[in-house]
Amino acid sequence: MKQTIFFGLFSAALGLVSASAEVSCLKLALSVKTAVAAESSKVLEIVSNEVSAAPDCSCEIVKSAIEAANAKPETVAAIVEAAVIAAPEQMRLISQCAVAVAPDALSKVQAVIAKLDPNRGEGAVKSSKDAKDAKDSKTPVGEVAAMPNPLDFPGQGPVGPNPGGPAGLPLIPNLPPVIIAPPDISNVDP
């Protein structure tokens, strides 16, 4: 009984913690919206300051700034640039939130993202040590390493287990097929 009460109170406390974090982002977004509405000429300063202070709320900040400024695509791109410079680790989230609010600014936002981080992608070099290792590699430029064909059957080629059991031996020995002769019905009396 005591454990049930403890777990109930613990769950309620965790629920309040996550709810308070969400409310603070909403309050922050509301304050950004009122500040931008009051001084729309300082929208970039406001966005930069607020995003650098609370990078986890960058999506809400960017959305509210775009809505409050009734931003054109060029202004949306400038807001995205200011937010990304303030919190570069939130780059993808910021751009997606901006496009969600102003879909007509998609090309401008993509141009800003490409300008700020042109080589970032799934295989981007993350640190200077990795960059040094990439420069020191012995692979000639323009040459692609031989890769197995993913359409090959599993177990054939360099990927997967050997066919059969351990050491490549078949699990079942090769026995001749069993032939079942059909019954002879020519000698049956009618």
User: What's the mean pLDDT in 32-43?
Assistant: 89
Structural domain includes residue 65 = yes
In this predicted structure, what is the pLDDT of residue 182? Answer: 81
How many domains is the chain partitioned into structurally? 1
Structural domain includes residue 133 = no
In this predicted structure, what is the pLDDT of residue 180? Answer: 85
* Host domain of residue 39: 11-121
Structural domain includes residue 155 = no
Structural domain includes residue 156 = no
Main-chain phi, psi angles of 65, to 5 degrees: -65, -40
| Beta strand segments in 64-182, E | none
Q: What is the pLDDT of residues 39-84, one digit of tens each?
A: 888 899 999 999 999 999 999 999 999 999 888 999 999 999 999 9
How many CB atoms within 10 Å of residue 31? 14
Counting residues of the chain whose pLDDT is more than 70, the rounded percentage is: 57
| Torsion from C-alpha of 103, 107, 108, 114, nearest 10 degrees | 130
Structural domain includes residue 157 = no
In this predicted structure, what is the pLDDT of residue 125? Answer: 44
Structural domain includes residue 139 = no
Structural domain includes residue 89 = yes
CB 86 within 8 A of CB 52: yes
Structural domain includes residue 127 = no
User: What's the mean pLDDT in 126-140?
Assistant: 50
Q: Is the pLDDT reported for residue 104 higher than 90?
A: yes
**CA 23 – CA 37 distance, rounded (Å):** 21
CA distances from 102 to 17, 60, 166 (A): 31, 14, 60
Percent of the chain that is helix, strand, coil (3-state, to 5):
65, 0, 35
